[in-house]
Chain A
């Protein structure tokens, strides 16, 4: 019987078109308080002592806000389910995906894991997970399923729900220095050209106008978090439906070329961006040695703590045309159940708890993590000045959505883009040529 229900739900889900789901997400977010039904989830006990192992990139013993928030979330679950013991094991985020795959090969994968923002698709061909269907959301209504900020189809593979979003993450927004713009009476740049000129104007001996990281470090997200939406903004998709390269055209080249322009035409970025890492981007902004950068929502709090943190301004990422920001690249960390999980009932309850409005609110308040559920946004906290950063980002996400599902070989693609961008800057090669080479290698890789 359960199987039957599952199938019904699965078809219902995939029946709703992607656009509808997105529009839904956008509307609810824009309204913020408009309110999809919030639901307190029931708390049925498993009925016997069980133990779950949860792999998190956060070391819960650390006193930083992110770790404290997740520890609080897990503690709430422990209070509610004294019969379920949760052991949290910290795994460095860069290694999370490979460690889960490795552990699954040994039959020792953790019950539940929190995967990186581009990690989930990798685990489908690796067969390291089991579907959540039947364990997560057994009692959910359609409204509950529609409550996700990102469409459920994003985490559905072959009709099966393979993971859910732990948070929402805006991968790239424009970061600027409010004090510098004010000093010069300049407005926030509205297009690539304006950004180039403004950044160049704010450059000094001790400060670069713009910084971005083209290093392959951390799966090259320093670059791809900006480049993917830049392709969209320039008018091209990244990949075709069948996975083959779609960026290999003049529009794609225009996006990539802009990086080259920032270095050589506007002279607003140093050539050293070829080896800059994402961590260095964050530090550079915090140290006040960069006037502009593009970074993601999850590092805002870190930058705020730096010397120049109070002057951080966040705006939609400008695109090629004035007044038309790039679409927002939105993803999130994933909660998944590994193939080795034997306590699916308990694991399902745990995952549901992490998605519950209470838990999501804790994560938003303590750690500044945008929730993965729309109904959470009804909370009055989101209207407070404290939530200002998050509001800007949530509105950007809602106003400029674009469908996106990472490819299972995304790591390889990121590697190619970073290598190509480095080559372009280092050897001053045309972007179009670079993209053609990348496309060739990408297409060969996925046909392997």
Chain B
């Protein structure tokens, strides 16, 4: 019985963690699907947004809603800067050059954030005062519920936008075939910019939820967000929106369970092992033969 309770508790924790990964992966996969380019500066842009919010919160004693707005707003601005400098010039050119350029801006954004706020740890206001939802022997933190609800809400909003609007048709056409989309009169440049802004906003939402549920902010946030987002996106198949959600949840579940049953050092190891094995097996949802 205790074993079963542990298992269910870990599954709940894993789903909450996975919801944050799913959000990160959604932003990543949107950009990848439309541009066929990996944006390594995705996490650092989120980090800059969270740092700006933490700074403003400290200086002006702002409420949570304002902090949320600042995180998302600055992330979108940083994303726009990355798009202009790394992706717009290489839209028809080299994917590798775009990716290395985004890595260069990763260094830049991270440096800007840590220069403005050089400490290794900053407090970030939490969403609640530590309440827990208890259901018999099971616990679920309020922030975990908020994370799951936010991930679900973003998925529904994104689904409505992509499957029930003209803009969504353009985006999905671009994901399927950029050249065919261009031939049918879609303004590829404009859609790309809008998708980049949308992806950055989702990243900003994810970043805000993550730092406010951890109630702290460290310089590792940038690299962490890029890595987790890429990993979750990859598990579900590049450029696939349902895949990003599934990949994020699977990643969260693996991490929660392997941490509990095998110890913290195996938490990341198992996730990477799964990715490597999956990639080697080339399952059908990973379109591994196409050259990105």
A and B: partners? Answer: no
B interface with A by C-beta (< 8 Å): none
A interface with B by C-beta (< 8 Å): none
